[in-house]
């Protein structure tokens, strides 16, 4: 399947409009996202992954949607500022907040079952590898994933209840 250069330019402009619409015209990465979308599209063309040649525009739009969603997830995961940029006078408030958070986590952990506490501590606090935790606790990888999911869910429930009680006491 061959496309002429005018088609590529037309698609590039449409993608640029789409990215600007979803992320705003002031986003500094608009051109990078358009380029990444076009690159993925060209790779799909070369490897003949396009099943329906009549719907190239829809295929390209889907690629662009994926690139935009990946970009948004990456922004969500990245911290907004680094620790060095925090003002020094706020450090006492930050330390007090961390101490309060540690205490709340400790109170929740005590309320969990032994197995949940053991899984969460090993995975999150001690940062052990999941294969090591499976071996120590005698779990398969699937059992570990289910147990970790359920332990996190129970932790969340108890933590939310603790916060609700705390807010109720303050009012």
What pLDDT, on a 0 to 100 scale, did the predictor assign at position 82?
52
DSSP assigned state of 150: H
Q: Say how far apart CA 68 and CA 60 lie, in whole Å.
A: 12
Q: Say how far apart CA 141 and CA 117 lie, in whole Å.
A: 18
Q: Which domains does the chain have, with CATH numbers?
A: 5-77 (1.10.1740), 110-171 (1.10.10)
Counted residue by residue, the chain has a size of: 171
Task: Tell me the pLDDT tens digit for each residue of 42-93.
Answer: 888 888 877 887 888 888 899 999 999 998 888 887 765 555 555 555 556 6
Hey, how many other C-beta atoms are within 10 angstroms of the C-beta on 144? 17
Q: Residue 11 in contact with residue 60, Cβ under 8 Å?
A: yes
What predicted TM-score, i.e. pTM, was given to this entire model?
A: 0.46
Which token pair is 160? 């939310």
């Amino acid at each position: 399947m061959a496309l002429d250069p005018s088609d590529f330019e037309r698609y590039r402009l449409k993608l640029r409009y789409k990215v600007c619409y979803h992320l705003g015209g002031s986003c500094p990465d608009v051109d990078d996202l358009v380029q990444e979308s076009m690159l993925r599209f060209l790779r799909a063309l070369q490897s003949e992954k396009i099943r329906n040649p009549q719907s190239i525009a829809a295929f390209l739009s889907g690629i662009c949607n994926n690139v935009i969603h990946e970009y948004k997830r990456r922004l969500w995961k990245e911290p907004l500022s680094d620790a060095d940029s925090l003002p020094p006078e706020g450090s006492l408030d930050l330390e007090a907040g961390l101490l309060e958070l540690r205490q709340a986590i400790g109170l929740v952990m005590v309320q969990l079952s032994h197995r949940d506490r053991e899984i969460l501590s090993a995975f999150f606090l001690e940062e052990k590898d999941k294969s090591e935790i499976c071996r120590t606790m005698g779990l398969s990888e699937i059992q570990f994933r289910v147990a970790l999911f359920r332990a996190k869910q129970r932790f969340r429930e108890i933590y939310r209840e603790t916060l609700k009680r705390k807010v109720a006491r303050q009012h």
